[in-house]
Amino acid sequence: MITATPEEARTQIVNMVREFVRRDVEPVAAHLDKEDIVPHDLIDKMKEMGLFGITVPEEYGGLGLDYTTFASIFEEISKGFMSLTGPIGTHHILTYVLTHYGTEEQKQRFLPDLAAGRKRGGLALTEPSGGSDVAALETTADKDGEEYVINGTKMFISNGRYGDSFCLLARTDRTAEPKHKGLSCFVVEKGGPGFRVGRDLDKLGYRGVDTCELHFEDFRVPVENLVGEVEGQGFGQVMSGLETGRINIAARAVGVAQAAFNAAIKYAQQRHTFGVPIAEHQAIQLKLADMATKIQAARLLTYDAAAKKDRGDRVDLESGMAKLFASETCQEVTLDAMRIHGGYGYIKESPVERYYRDAPLMIIGEGTNEVMQLLIARQLLRRPEYQI
């Protein structure tokens, strides 16, 4: 257990993660990506480091660390193999929702196993008919005595194949207006009749992560698994959890962009054209300057959102800004890194090719960037006191 000041604890665990990535992750990242292998051995090492319970309070078996440390960990892992953040990404949304909205009995029942990684969690939110319009989801949960009967399908679920417990949003009131007031959040545990894992989804990037469909057909969960044991609160619970999800997505984007930049500047100093390193050509220097500036701006936005979350502030605006800017920066930087590498950046011998394929995930995940722009604008209009 880490016993130190917050700054010391952050330094200790981030250094430990950085060394883990250098020693164990980077040498196998290309192989895992190419073969789309879920690296269970690396995931086990992450469990040993406590990474499944980064922000879970110590009293429930977690590390009890802050969101600044949380973001740092996601950035460091993403520099080596962004996919390895998958097992702990939406897992942390489940632990967040339980920590902040669960009853004491629910915390005692679920959090210790989740924090230790004995059980892996996920977020069952997106559906085949849509993801951004959360209030219109179609999965239902009908109360039947001391149980809820769940019917519906969830799509693009990380940890879907190997996860054990999921934070599932379902409609408990079909007549509620506005619609989001009819949504409730449940902890659903794999097993039993009516819960089926569907097909594995073959992806452009973010490979080595089990991403699946989940099907529910008259699947029964006990009323004790309704988060907070109050219906109609699910939308707010999940949206609050997604604030932290957007911080982790932004941190992933910063990590991938930094890795791409590191590769580009190294290559630019080694590759010669016209008798000099290409780093001496002004066109390359201009790219490198813009890349570095954008990465640092993205990093500052990300850690600003994390620091405000640590203070207990509402950060839907800040996390949305960080996610939007960092993910767009990541896409731009990985493309520029590929262009600096030329043909060598387009072949799988170079990690830059993988960075470029991984980058779009952050533009789509935890709400598309078009939705982020709408959310940011609406929050600015509702909060005229907000100072840029």
Q: Is the pLDDT of residue 256 over 90?
A: yes
246 and 308, same domain (yes or no): yes
- pLDDT category of residue 10 using cuts at 50, 70 and 90: confident
Known catalytic residues are: 366
- pLDDT category of residue 388 using cuts at 50, 70 and 90: low
- The answer to the question of residue 354 being in a domain is yes
282 and 334, same domain (yes or no): yes
Average pLDDT for residues 358-385, to the nearest whole number?
94
Domain boundary among 119, 143, 172: 119
96 and 139, same domain (yes or no): no
CA distances from 112 to 10, 70, 147, 165, 316 (A): 22, 18, 24, 13, 28
- The answer to the question of residue 282 being in a domain is yes
Average pLDDT for residues 256-281, to the nearest whole number?
98
- The answer to the question of residue 12 being in a domain is yes
Arithmetic mean of pLDDT over the chain: 96
Q: Dihedral angle at the C-alpha atoms of 38, 257, 251, 202, nearest 10 degrees?
A: -30
- The answer to the question of residue 387 being in a domain is no
- The answer to the question of residue 80 being in a domain is yes
- pLDDT category of residue 91 using cuts at 50, 70 and 90: very high
Average pLDDT for residues 117-145, to the nearest whole number?
93
178 and 269, same domain (yes or no): no
49 and 81, same domain (yes or no): yes
DSSP class of 219: E
35 and 67, same domain (yes or no): yes
Domain boundary among 232, 248, 263: 232
Read off the CATH number of the domain in which 176 is found: 2.40.110.10
Q: In whole angstroms, what separates CA 68 from the centre of its chain?
A: 15
Domain boundary among 172, 200, 232: 232
CA distances from 31 to 38, 209, 339 (A): 11, 13, 23
* pLDDT given at position 130: 78
d(CA 59, CA 333): 41
- The answer to the question of residue 326 being in a domain is yes
- The answer to the question of residue 248 being in a domain is yes
205 and 186, same domain (yes or no): yes
191 and 311, same domain (yes or no): no
367 and 243, same domain (yes or no): yes
d(CA 266, CA 76): 19
108 and 126, same domain (yes or no): no
Read off the CATH number of the domain in which 268 is found: 1.20.140.10
Instruction: Report pLDDT digits (tens) over 204-247.
Output: 999 999 999 999 999 999 999 999 999 999 999 999 999 999 99
- pLDDT category of residue 2 using cuts at 50, 70 and 90: low
Read off the CATH number of the domain in which 22 is found: 1.10.540.10
255 and 345, same domain (yes or no): yes
Closest CA to 183 of 250, 234, 256: 234
- The answer to the question of residue 1 being in a domain is no
**Structural domain containing residue 270:** 236-382
pTM (two decimals): 0.96
207 and 254, same domain (yes or no): no
Cis peptide before 384 (omega within 30 of 0): no
Number of structural domains (the chain) is 3
Both ends of the chain: CA-CA distance in Å?
39
DSSP string, 135-184: GG---EEEEETTEEEEEEEEEEEETTTT--EEEEEEES-TT-SSGGGGEE
